[in-house]
C-alpha cells in the first residue's frame, strides 16, 4: 500500500512541479509557516525562538511537522504522516489543510531530504514566499540557503539578512 501511495504522490508532484509558478514576494513578512521533518529535526521550538529573535511575533508563527509514523493511540498536534495523505495527493486532515491553504507571507521548509509528504506540503502551500535548503529540489522554493539543518540559528540569521537586503522586513 505504501508503495502504491508513494507512486501516486510522485506522479502528482511531478505534474504539479511542471505547472508551478512562483508568487511575487510580499512587501513585508508578518506571518510565517514552518514545515519540518520531525525525524531529522524534532525540536521546532528552537526554530520558532530564532525567528522571534528576528522580530516576528510568536503568535504569527505556525508550525507543521511530518512524522514517519503516528500510532492511532497517539494524540499529536500540528503533526502529520503519510497516512494523512490519499493516493491522489490530497490531505485528509483538517489541520494539515488549514496549514497548507493559509496564505503565509513566508513558508520555511526546514528539511533537507526529499520525503514525498514534505515536498507535497511545500508544493501545495499557498504561502507567498517559500524558503528552504538548497539540497532539496530548487523548483520548490523561491529562495534557498545552503546550511546544515543542525545550525538553525545560522539558517534563520542568513534568511533574515537577505530579507532585509531585499527590503521586505
Q: Rounded CA gap, 32 and 129, in Å?
A: 10
Just give the CATH number of 2-165: 3.40.50
pLDDT digits (tens, 9 = 90+) for 32-80: 999 998 887 778 889 999 999 999 999 999 999 998 877 666 666 788 8
Between 87 and 157, the more confident residue is 157
Query: What was the pLDDT predicted at 88?
Result: 81
pLDDT score for 113: 87
Please give the model's pTM, rounded to 2 decimal places: 0.82
Q: Which is more confidently placed, 151 or 6?
A: 151
Q: Where are the alpha helices (DSSP H) in the chain?
A: 2-19, 44-53, 94-101, 116-124, 152-165
For residue 23, the model assigns a pLDDT of: 62
Residue 33 CB neighbours (<10 A): 25
Q: Which residue in 93, 61, 90 sits closest to 80, CA to CA?
A: 93
Phi-psi region of 63 (alpha: psi -120 to 50; beta: other; left: phi over 0): beta
Provide, rounded to the nearest whole percent, the portion of the chain with pLDDT above 90.
Answer: 41
In the prediction, which pLDDT does 25 show?
A: 63
Structure-model confidence comparison of residues 106 and 19, the more confident one: 106
> What ranges do the domains of the chain cover?
2-165
Give the pLDDT confidence score for residue 59 in this predicted structure: 96
Report pLDDT for 102: 94
Enumerate the H helices of 20-93 as residue ranges.
44-53
The whole-angstrom separation of Cα 40 and Cα 67 is: 10
pLDDT over 60 (residue 169): no
Q: What phi and psi, each to the nearest 5 degrees, are found at residue 42? A: -90, -10
Sign of the alpha-carbon dihedral angle for 79, 26, 14, 110? negative
Instruction: Return the residue matching grid coordinates 504561502.
Output: 127
138 in Cβ contact with 144 (< 8 Å): yes
Amino acid at each position: 500500500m505504501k508503495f502504491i501511495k508513494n507512486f501516486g504522490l510522485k506522479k502528482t508532484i511531478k505534474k504539479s512541479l511542471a505547472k508551478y509558478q512562483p508568487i511575487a514576494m510580499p512587501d513585508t513578512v508578518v506571518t510565517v509557516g514552518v514545515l519540518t521533518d520531525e525525524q531529522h529535526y524534532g525540536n521546532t521550538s528552537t526554530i520558532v525562538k530564532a525567528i522571534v529573535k528576528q522580530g516576528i511575533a510568536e503568535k504569527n508563527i505556525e508550525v507543521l511537522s511530518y512524522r514517519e509514523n503516528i500510532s492511532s493511540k497517539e494524540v499529536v498536534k500540528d503533526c502529520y504522516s503519510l497516512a494523512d495523505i490519499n493516493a491522489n495527493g490530497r490531505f485528509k486532515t483538517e489541520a494539515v489543510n488549514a496549514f497548507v491553504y493559509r496564505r503565509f507571507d513566508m513558508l520555511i521548509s526546514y528539511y533537507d531530504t526529499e520525503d514525498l509528504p514534505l515536498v507535497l506540503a511545500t508544493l501545495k502551500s499557498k504561502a507567498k514566499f517559500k524558503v528552504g535548503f538548497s539540497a532539496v529540489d530548487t523548483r520548490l522554493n523561491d529562495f534557498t540557503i545552503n546550511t546544515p539543518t543542525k545550525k538553525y540559528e545560522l539558517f534563520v540569521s542568513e534568511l533574515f539578512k537577505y530579507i532585509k537586503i531585499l527590503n521586505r522586513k
